[in-house]
Structures are given as C-alpha cells and as structure tokens.
Structure 1
Amino acid sequence: MYKKLHTFFLPSHQWNEPWSLAGKEAHHLTKVLRITSGHKIRLIDGSGKTGIFTVQKISKNEVSLLCNEVLTWPEPQSKVHLALAWNKSFRRSWLLEKAVELGVWKIILWQARHSQGRTKDASQENWQGKMIAAAKQCENPWLPELIFLHEGAGKLTLYSKDIQSKLLLWEEEKNNRIMEYFQNHHPWEKVVVIGPEGGLAREEVDIFVDSGFVPLSLGPKVLRWETAALAPLFLNMLTVH
C-alpha cells in the first residue's frame, strides 16, 4: 500500500554508506518538519534513483540514515527538451517548477533576437533549488538538466540536430495546430522551441524551418510566455503511449 512520505534530495555521488543528510536538507528535516528518529523518509537523487530510509540519529549538522530500499527507475520513454527564449518574466521560477512536475527532460534557455535582456548563469543555483523542490513535491525521480545557450537560433539548431522531432511554436502559424500534431505523431524524443514575449524574428523562424523544425500554432488566443511553454508538456503527458 502506497504511503506518502516526506521526500528529500541527496545527490547521486552521495548514494553510499554511511547514509546521511546534511546542510539544507538536514535543517529542513529537523527544524522545519521536526522529524525524529525512527521515522521513514524518501530520498531522490534526480538521476533515476529513489529510496526509503529510516532516520537513525540526529546531530547538530547531520542526520544519519538506515537504508531500507533503493529503486532505480528507467528513463522516461517520451522526452521533451523545452527550449525557452530568455525572457525577463517574474514567473520564470514558477515555470521551471511546473515543467519539472510535468516531466520535462531538459530545459534550454536561449538568447533570441527579441529577448528582454541577456541570458545569464548567475541565478542557476537558485533555479536548480526550485526544480529540486518541485521534484521532491511530485516525487519525480528525474531532475531535468538546465542548459544555457547564450547564442541565438543557429546554436539551438545545432543542439537539436540529433533529436527525432523538432517543433516550433510560432504565433504566425495558422494551419498546423499543436493538438493535431500530438494526436497524430508520437516520437519518443522532441525539442519544442518557445520564443520570447516579443515574438520571434522572421530570420529566426527561417533558420528553424530550414533546419527541419515544424511550425505549430497554439490557437487564436495570445498566451503568456509561461502558459505557452507548459502547453506542449501537458499534451505530451496526455498523448504519450
């Protein structure tokens, strides 16, 4: 019978004896949740491993654990690489969290012609923390890789060259609807490009189309950047076989 347990993150290189939690995760366990010795918890490593552990000993800076069970999960069959044009959105952290919940495989932040500001790695640690929190909440054993591409569309096409299906969400596309595409095509791996709130430049669209990307429409309504980004993840989750 499934039992909901508090979930904590332990990087894969620390999955060995003696088992323990330290730092922020230990503080959260002892000071926030006030878990005591004898209680069971769940660990994830973000690379496909989960485990059930019993809290043994709690010291000032460390929580000692007893390993009860470790499971290794296969990689998901359907993988979505979400390529988001850089945008000065205050909802960026929220978007990253929701993308993890919906099973995104990789997130690429790339520099578009109409991006607001420049891509920067400075906040990567904070965003990584947000994604870890989301993975813990939904017990997702796979944590997506966060990639920064400081160059434009050409660099993104190079990144995508070996990916089976290449999709471009474009506000000026009128014929090809994303729903119909996901219903009729079921590639196991796909990259989905989302432009900035200022829209894609025509030369960027040409670069993507010339590299084999299929332009798709989300419909007649104008959507916010973060709403458009989540749509293909929802559809992938609903239509995957």
Structure 2
Amino acid sequence: LRVQPGQEMTLFDGQGGVAEGAIVAVSKTAVEVEIAKRWTVPKPAIEIDLIQAVPKPERWELVLQKAVELGATAIRPILTRHTEFKPNPKKQERWSKIVLNAAQQCEVRWLPRLHGLEKLEAVLPTLAGYDLVLVGSLYEGTKRFRDVAMQDKRRIALLIGPEGDFSREEVAAMVEAGAVAVSFGDRILRTETAAIFGLSVLAYERL
C-alpha cells in the first residue's frame, strides 16, 4: 500500500537469502523489483528451540514476537496438564504471520520454524536430539541458570510451562528424558516473562 516505483527495498527468503534492489512496477497483485545485489547470511551456528505451553492469546503473541527477536531458531507450542488453550487451526496461520512480521521488523534472515501444536508427551522423545535441554521449574532440585554449562552446546531447547506451571510429574518426566531443571530466581515469573528471560540468557551466552 505504501511502496512506489523507484523505492529501494531489501528482500529475504527466510532461508538466509538476502537481496537489495529497487521497485520498477507496482500493481494490485504484485511488486516488481530489479535486483542490484544479493548474498547469503550463514545459518546460526547455535540452534535455540523454545518449547512452550501456550498461554492466553495476547501473552503468546508477545512470546512469538520476542522469541524471534531474541534468536530462537524454532518455536514449538505445546499442550500440558495445566494448559488452558483450546486447539484452533486458524490460530496457526495468525501465529505464522506474527513470526514473519517480527522477522521483517528486526531483520532476521533465517525465519524460525514454527511447529504445529503438540502434546508434551509427544515432545519428550525428541529431547534426546538436543545437546542441552533446560526446563524452567518452581519445584525443589533445580540448578541456577548460571551454573549450567553451556559451552560447546550447538542445539539447545528451553521448555517453559503454562500459567499454572508444569506439574511435578511433567518436570520429572522431562528430567528423566535428559532435561536440566533450572530456576529463574526468587521471583515467580509470568510465563511470557520466563520465556523472554530464558531466551535472553541463552542469547547472551551465544554472543
């Protein structure tokens, strides 16, 4: 709606391909761009997957935006015992648009993969494929985030529970599957804050 012929644009394909060019024609159905330069941005050396129980819509949309900004390479929404979200296929399309818009806004050249909604039980067997799995927990027996060795970990998963937290049995099942239960401090964080906090720590460690 706003672009005009002659305007310069940066384009990306979500898989590392980037191009610069100028608009030569605009119609109701298409924008034609003459490419002047193109290059490829390397894939992130460290993968960080956010696996999160879906909270209320406005909170989940915030998580999606911030996960993209903070460098999550995949986002896996899950259903847990205390999750109140009711599956709705139409929501997946909206979530995809939010991820795309966030990537455009902060110039993320590798679009995070947004998985379909899964039950926690279906995710547990996949945890073995990560070098490090962290699960935020309010129960006893956790480690401090900063005490977890993250060096040389190339594929990391961060599990965040719902507004009512994971159940004890769910945390135990994740730990049995190889996860490390971690504490985010003395305060109880909202689910969206916990996701942002955890991804921020991982992003810092990756710098």
Q: TM-score, normalised by structure 2?
A: 0.93
Residues 120-131 of structure 1 mapped to structure 2, 5 A cutoff:
120-131=88-99
Quick one: higher RCO (CA 8 Å, sep 6+), 1 or 2? 2
* 1:45 matches 2:16: no
Which residue matches 2:81?
113
The 8 Å contact of residues 119 and 148 in structure 1, kept in 2 or not, is answered as: no
Count of aligned pairs: 206
Query: Which residue of structure 2 lines up, in the alignment, with residue 98 of structure 1?
Result: 66
Query: Tell me, what secondary structure is at the counterpart of 2:109?
Result: coil
In the other structure, the counterpart of 2:150 is: 185
Q: Which amino acid aligns with 1:74?
A: P
1:133 maps to 2:98: no
Matching residue of 2:185: 219
Q: For 2:57 and 2:185, how far apart are their aligned partners in 1?
A: 22
2:138 to 157, 164, 171: 171
How many angstroms does 1:175 deviate by?
A: 4.8
Asked if structure 1 preserves the Cα contact closer than 8 Å seen for 2:127 and 2:178, the reply is no
Unaligned ranges ≥5, structure 1: 1-30
- The structure with the largest alpha-carbon Rg is 1
Contact 2:50 2:76 in 1 (8 A): yes
Shift of the alpha carbon at 1:89? Answer: 4.2
Over the matched positions of the two proteins, sequence identity in percent amounts to 30
1:148 has 2:113 as partner: no
Aligned-partner Cα distance in 2 for 1:205–1:66: 53
Verify the 8 A CA contact 2:20 2:38 in the aligned structure 1.
yes
The 3 A distance-change label for structure 1 pair 145 and 77 is same
Q: Deviations over 1:160-212 (max 9, x none)?
A: 2211111111012465111332xx42211101111111111111111111111
Q: Which amino acid aligns with 1:221?
A: R
Pairing partner for 2:129 from 162, 176, 180: 162
Q: Could you say which residue in structure 1 is the equivalent of 2:55?
A: 87
